[in-house]
Amino acid sequence: MKYKKYQLEETFEESFSLIAIHSSLEDFQLAYFINKNCATYFKRNHDLYSPYLKQCLKGLVWENDHDKENHWHLFSNKYEAKTEDSKQVSQLFFGEKLELEQFVLPEFKLVNYFIKKPGDISNETFIYKLKEVSEIQIAYSIPEKNIKSYQNIIFE
């Protein structure tokens, strides 16, 4: 998928592909099995910031040794959105902040995790290796035309 990214009044296009993963594992466990079976090295990164969502997302990043510019991101589709105090909320919950479960890509509510990777790399072999991991129920590539809220997964 290609999208326009605006940075310091410059516009450039960045392409990526998206892989959906259905698994009941925690993200660090999933990353362990993916790293073990797919020759990747995802590691924890707490700085997956989505400017469109205005949220830091819990995720893991793999910086490929051969190409320092392209990073692969493994992240959960669910995140906890903190609400600001409002009159209704403060009257009901005595001014405490609420955390609501939201989806990074709401059009794919059944997907547990995503891997966002550079678009110029083939998905077929990687998805085949993901399907061999017994802890992953299913993994598949998401067609570009099905992603409606791609701006949510533009990370800084």
pLDDT tens by residue, 58-77:
899 998 766 666 789 999 99
pTM (predicted TM-score): 0.80
Q: What is the pLDDT of residue 83?
A: 57
Query: CA of 38: how far to CAs of 54, 89, 99, 101, 132, in Å?
Result: 32, 46, 35, 30, 9
Residues β-bridged to residue 113:
21, 76
pLDDT category at 10 given cuts 50, 70, 90 is very low
Say how far apart CA 31 and CA 113 lie, in whole Å: 11
CATH code of domain 12-79+111-153: 3.30.160
> How do the domains of the chain map onto residue ranges?
12-79+111-153
Top pLDDT among 15 and 114 is at 114
Confidence of residue 146 (pLDDT cuts 50, 70, 90): very high
